[in-house]
Amino acid sequence: MARISDNVTPSLDLLDERASAFQRSVVFMRQAYPNMAYMTFDSNEHRGANHLILAKFVVGIGEDNPVWLTYDECDDSTTCDNVPGGLFGTCHTKDGVRVETGIYPLLVGRDTEKAEGACVIKVKCHGDKKVWLKFGNGNISFMHFSPNKDMMGPEIDCEKGNAVIEDGVVVITRQERDEITCVRGNMEYERKLKGEGSYIVGKGASNELKVIVSFSKDKDRALELSRLDPDEEFKKVQDYYADLLNNIYIKTPNPELDEAFAHALLNVEYSYLYPYGWIESIHHWPTMWHMEHTAAEEWYGRPERTKIVLRAQMKNMFENGAIPDMCTTGKGRRDWGGNNQFFFREVEHYLKMTLDMDFACEVEPYMDRVIKQTFDEYDPTYSGIIGWGTQIGNQEDFESTPGKGAASGSCGAEMLKTMAVVKGLLGKTEEADKYRRLSEYVIEKMKKTIWLDDLGRYAWYEDVVGKKYLETTYHGIIYPIMHDQLDDFDMVSSIDHLEYRLTGPEGEVYQTNHFGDHAYHWVPTWGMQCGSNMQPFATKAYSKLGMADSAIKPLEFIAKRVCGDFQRGSWPETANEKRFAYFSPSAAVWAQEIIESVFGINMNLIENKTFISPCMPESWDKAELKLPNIHLVYERKDGKFVVNAKIENDTSKVFRILLPPYENIKAIVNGREAEVSTRRRCGFFEASFEMGNEREFLVEIEYRKIDYSINSPKNIAVGDIFDISVSGLEILGIDDRCGIFSNVQFGRKGLKLTVKDTLLDNYEKFGYFGLMNFARRVFVLKVKKDDIVFDLPVKLVLMKDVIFSATYEEGRVYVDLYNNMNKALSGNAKLVLFCKAFDTECHVAARSVKQLVFDVKSVKGDMAPGMNNARIIVGDKVADIEVFADVKADIRNVELDMEMIKPMQYWREIGLFQSHGHMMQGPDNFMKDLFETVDKVEVIEGVPFKLSGGFIPLSFDKHRIVRIPLKGMKARKVYVLFSAFIDNHNVFGVPFTVELEIEKKDSFIRPMYVKELAFPGEIDMGFGNNVIAGFATYVNGTKRGAVPGMPYTTEDGDYPNTRPHIYPERDYWCKYKAVEVCNTVFNMIEIDTGKASDLKEIRFIANNADIGAGIYAINLF
């Protein structure tokens, strides 16, 4: 990797400083040259993003006048690497001298809450030059940006730091802090003054230097630690980590997985801060948030850490019953949506792993308070379905759930179930039954409230006024599967969306996330972050359905990056970002799911059972897992699946494996045939058998797969008819739970199925993005092989039967006709425009596109700029369409009532909501200088909007219905300059409606033109990129109006480019052109009445909670 020069501007792009840690000792070394630093977490003041620099070290070589090894003195082979327990660097000077540097935190401080620690520094020059060390105190360091200014160059920042020599040891202090640092080594010390401070230049006695650096708030203790023998302590470090790595490992056909498993162990170990928890990122987030590490630590044989950390949270519980985030000061705080759901997850896992009855008794009253606080805060109307603030899912899930949500509701139900487990364990049967029933009630309520029957999955959430947002999050799919809250069919139909709309080309899973500067390559619109913490939970869900090849891919994706040339052992926070995070929550859950989902070992001492449920990819021939008290080896050989297991407990062992549909299965356990129970599930079978309570097992399983193939199209147009058959099986029937078919007929070889023609009607308003996002459906065939009856899921991609895309140019209308049906469209095509009919001949082959041309010169003068309403008739297909025209016209501006207009800053009162969270990173940029520098805005050429110095507000809370009188005005078409103060939380909803009413005159019915402003489809987010950290749905240059490629043109039978990180593209967020001016995205709302009309009023209605918008100008044609 190329070295980072000191001359580059510090940024987040490429970090240069590597880190390691033990307890409160944090060490850093640069890769570009061997500057080092010894730092710690602040024990006096909470700092979420800063370290305290105890000492900075600059390495030199020479006799009497050292050469300090900074950037210009080292060649490009110079680097630094993480090694178990520390950092090791190799520097090559430009005159060919090799210098090795190492810095290692010592195993000090984990038996006390006191702030103390030590490290050893080892420097060796391969040559006859002596080693020098310049060192002294530093200040507070913000390690996010690199190259880091505090570690850069040969200078020591000691203006407020003092270094004195006392009996062969250097004592370093700083004015504003109470930490005392001691440095002792085989050097001669010279004290140098700098301003009011001082630092030390140490000359080594030889070409090798060994230094102990220690700190404490007690000088005697710091001095005591400095007397530790560097060789002995270094050996203790080496032995400690060697013991860990020799007893906790995996061996698989993928060496990156094996290596990443070791790195996960080390990253978790480095981050543990007794007794409070695990630092999120020892590198640049030196505090604690969600304690997702506990399960991994229990598998590592250290369950006492879980109990210690849970007790710290209990001790610091807030008065209202909320679980805190812990600070390095030992105090609690609360960030994001809280930790209650994580606390419950951790308690249940710990009790199942340990059967610690004393702790169960201890934690129960705290859980009573937590469950009450959770539902009081997030379900104030007692619906049973909780919402959440940020991070209902995992670390870095920064979307909120401001209503009855899928992921949040699932967590609420699971928390109630956990309460039932704990109450049952303590013998409180009635309370346990109560909580179990409540959990079941919540799941039933969720299905009734936010389940989408036609899609076979949950919506994201229902807001406080009952409006649903249809696109769910990754955890809105995963959690109900993970917690066994769905039946098989619903799990299969749910995970299809995860697999085909939220999964990238390497099998990595994405989230609809709202945290700026965390992206795969960039931030594409709704914030498709590929977080390292998300991947293991996808693995968990896939493993629940026996999808072994899918389950391993998210883990391999992260392992590839952990072991890649950049990270080299540091655990990234998100996919490809160039930061050394050493991100411990991700490392812990990654290891947990390697253990629990891939190797499938799960323990439940409450039921006195250990479960072995391998989920081994088809291509693997052998895999091994070694943990304290557990050793598993899986092999495929001679047509058998063979398990060698050693489990050092006396529980009843249960083997459970998910397999393709099979017949004639046989299992041998330690030489005796086991009684195999088969559960036929949706597309797979579950085989299980009791193994006994022995500690060592040899298991051999052989079975014969049922050979079959499904003959069915991958995609189909709504309204079409198709045949389906299954070779090798008899079809008994169909389970059409999603309501896909209007008619099912049995034929001699299979079924003839007629697809309903209305399946996409509810999603068409969301434009092409909606048609693509909601295209997929699942149904089930009931099939039979001999006397074996089972279910086979079948997946379909739906298309509109016919799509029309029309433009006007020089007296002609050009209509691109996409015939997606299985039959040709032929005959006379008729276009009705301005009450006149125009004809052309038409023949469009099945599944093809053809352009129709209509001569409309007779209505040339009637064409308005933008969209013109028309109707087209082709064969038996009739559709209302819009014809885009780029024409000049006489456009009139409506003078708005100045009393209705609010100044720019008023948007904050109606457009900033709790749910915006981290997305809203630059609110001061919104509309900045708009009214001072811009007097007109043009979304399309020829329709200039005149600004009036402010906007008319539209808001659910304060301006729910806005009426703008148009009486006395006459027009055929109304244009509105509109900007929506909405964000990702409003995706796939209809936040606003516009009603244009014209004078009634002689009509019986009030003449009303109604337009739903769907998002996506009709409008964009009004916030520009600089307001919402790059998540804008529109940037200038975005193309609009293009029809996406059809599924029948692709190899996989799905719409092209519907996988992140490319998906969703800005081009498809809205059907219409937009413009960004002064960090404000404007849409032009068009209402075409078809003829000159006497206008009465235009009304704007805010439909949903937590939305706002501005009406900036109105034009007439």
Consecutive 10-residue averages of pLDDT for the chain (1117 residues): 85 90 98 97 96 97 94 95 98 94 97 97 95 95 92 91 96 94 97 94 96 98 98 98 98 98 98 98 96 98 98 98 98 94 98 98 98 98 95 79 96 98 98 98 98 98 96 94 98 97 92 58 57 94 98 97 95 86 96 98 98 97 98 96 97 98 97 97 98 97 97 97 96 97 92 98 96 98 97 98 97 98 96 96 96 96 96 96 95 96 97 80 95 97 96 97 97 98 93 97 93 96 90 91 94 93 88 96 97 96 97 98
Measured CA to CA, the distance from residue 184 to residue 560 in angstroms comes to 41
CB 117 within 8 A of CB 181: no
Measured CA to CA, the distance from residue 34 to residue 28 in angstroms comes to 10
What is the predicted pLDDT for the residue at 747? 85
Which fold does the domain 248-598 belong to in CATH?
A: Glycosyltransferase (1.50.10)
CATH annotation of 892-1034+1069-1116: 2.60.120
Measured CA to CA, the distance from residue 396 to residue 571 in angstroms comes to 14
What is the predicted pLDDT for the residue at 577? 79
Residue 491: C-alpha distances to residues 119, 495, 645, 795, 847 (Å): 51, 6, 31, 13, 32
Look at the alpha carbons of 110, 111, 117, 121 in this order and tell me if their dihedral is positive or negative: negative
Closest CA to 571 of 557, 552, 586: 586
What is the predicted pLDDT for the residue at 812? 98
Helix 535-544 vs helix 584-593: crossing angle, to nearest 10: 20
Q: Which CATH architecture has domain 17-244?
A: Distorted Sandwich (2.70)
What is the predicted pLDDT for the residue at 529? 77
Comparing 600-705 with 802-885, is the CATH topology the same? yes
What is the predicted pLDDT for the residue at 523? 44
CATH number 2.70.210.12 is the correct assignment for the domain at 802-885 = no
pTM of the model: 0.96
Domain ranges of the chain: 17-244, 248-598, 600-705, 709-789, 802-885, 892-1034+1069-1116
Measured CA to CA, the distance from residue 63 to residue 731 in angstroms comes to 88
Given the DSSP bridges, would you call strands 802-809 and 601-604 parallel, antiparallel or unpaired?
Answer: unpaired
Superfamily of domain 600-705: Golgi alpha-mannosidase II (2.60.40.1180)
Neighbours of 136 (CB within 10 A): 29
What is the predicted pLDDT for the residue at 513? 53
Beta bridge partners of 647: 630
What is the predicted pLDDT for the residue at 984? 86
DSSP state of 401: B
Q: Which residues of 425-445 are buried (b: 16+ CB within 10 A; e: fewer)?
A: beeeeebbeebbebbeebbeb
What is the predicted pLDDT for the residue at 915? 77
